[in-house]
Amino acid sequence: MIEREQVFIEPAVALPGLTGLLGLVNGARRFSRRRPVGAFCAVVIVALLFIAAAAPLVARQDPLITHTVIKLQPPSTAHWFGTDDLGRDVFSRVVYGARVSLGIGFGGMLVSLALGIIIAVVSGYFGGVTDIVIQRMVDAVQAIPGLIVVLTAVTIIKPSPTSLFVILGIQAAFGGSRLIRSQVFAVKNMPFVDASRSMGASHVRIMWRAILPNVMSLAIISGSFNLIGIILAEATLSFLGQGVQPPNPSWGQMLSGSARPFMVRAPWMGLAPGIVLTITLMVFSLFGDTLRDELDPRLRGSKGA
């Protein structure tokens, strides 16, 4: 009896997920070598976002519960950043404040990106009378100091995290639209746009499929800098008592209100949120510079952060 030899052929298994992950790792490695400062800032930003998202796990104390018996306690192993004038844990309030401040910042950035892109693409693509009317409206908005516009809006509308990021996002959209509009003027006369137009594509399709992808890099750069301005504007409004209302924590609100009289006696009440806010603005600013150097074709070959 002849025995047949069995040959097992291992099927080729495609691992698109693993391939994509390896590509992401290699890309991150190349980015770290090329832009070390930007890579460090990206790590800090990811850490801040993780802390904000996982605030209940990171903070050991409830940020709203008061304990007057332990008020104005200096930093210790029990309270890493000390306690405030109502006995609330400052570290917990800083952590939960990150959720509020960063949430408003990123929400406002998305609003500013969406509205700024619409204004810029419509204005730049159609040009003529449409461009003149839209740009005069942008001029009128920018002629008024931004803080006055925002203060007026939050006076009319009850301030809340949602209303704040919508108001601040709308206010930031107009300045960013000017930058994107200049790129739209350069792109709309490209041969591929003329080809789309000759094939009968509608204006909406041309703006969506031909114009928008070619201005997104500039829009992302604009959005990154809008994010910094929105976070700082929220802190300013909360410091003035027109932003996030107590007892909900935000970094600007922790520097205002009842905390002011106690900051000489208990300086940790102001140092903790102030230092965290400064570091956050610094890393976002440096990362925005890195994005500009990476995404702007005129600066793509430059060295530095």
Which residue ranges make up each domain of the chain? 59-295
pLDDT attached to residue 18: 62
Instruction: Give Cα separations from 78 to 70, 74, 90, 124, 271 (angstroms).
Output: 11, 10, 11, 58, 18
Q: Output phi, psi for 89, to 5 deg.
A: -70, 120
Statement: residue 16 has pLDDT above 60: no
What is the arithmetic mean of pLDDT over 214-227? 88
Question: How does the average pLDDT of the chain come out, rounded?
Answer: 83
Statement: residue 15 has pLDDT above 50: no
Query: 104: how many CB neighbours lie within 10 A of its CB?
Result: 30
Q: Which burial class, exposed, middle or buried, applies to 255 when counting CB atoms under 10 A from its CB (0-12, 13-18, 19+)?
A: buried
pLDDT digits (tens, 9 = 90+) for 228-255: 999 999 888 888 888 888 888 888 888 8
CATH topology (fold) of 59-295: MetI-like fold (1.10.3720)
Exposed e or buried b per residue across 142-180, where buried means at least 16 C-beta atoms within 10 angstroms of its C-beta: eeeebeeebbebbeeeebebeebbbbbbbbbbbbbbbbb
pLDDT attached to residue 14: 45
pLDDT attached to residue 305: 46
pLDDT digits (tens, 9 = 90+) for 267-278: 888 888 889 999
Predicted TM-score (pTM) of this structure: 0.83
Task: Identify which of 17-21, 176-180, 246-250 has the greatest average pLDDT.
Answer: 176-180
pLDDT attached to residue 7: 46
| Rounded Cα distance, 193 and 190, in Å | 6
Statement: residue 26 has pLDDT above 90: no
What percentage of the chain has pLDDT greater than the value 90? 25
Q: For residues 268 and 90, is the Cβ–Cβ distance under 8 A?
A: yes
Statement: residue 149 has pLDDT above 80: yes
pLDDT digits (tens, 9 = 90+) for 107-116: 999 999 999 9
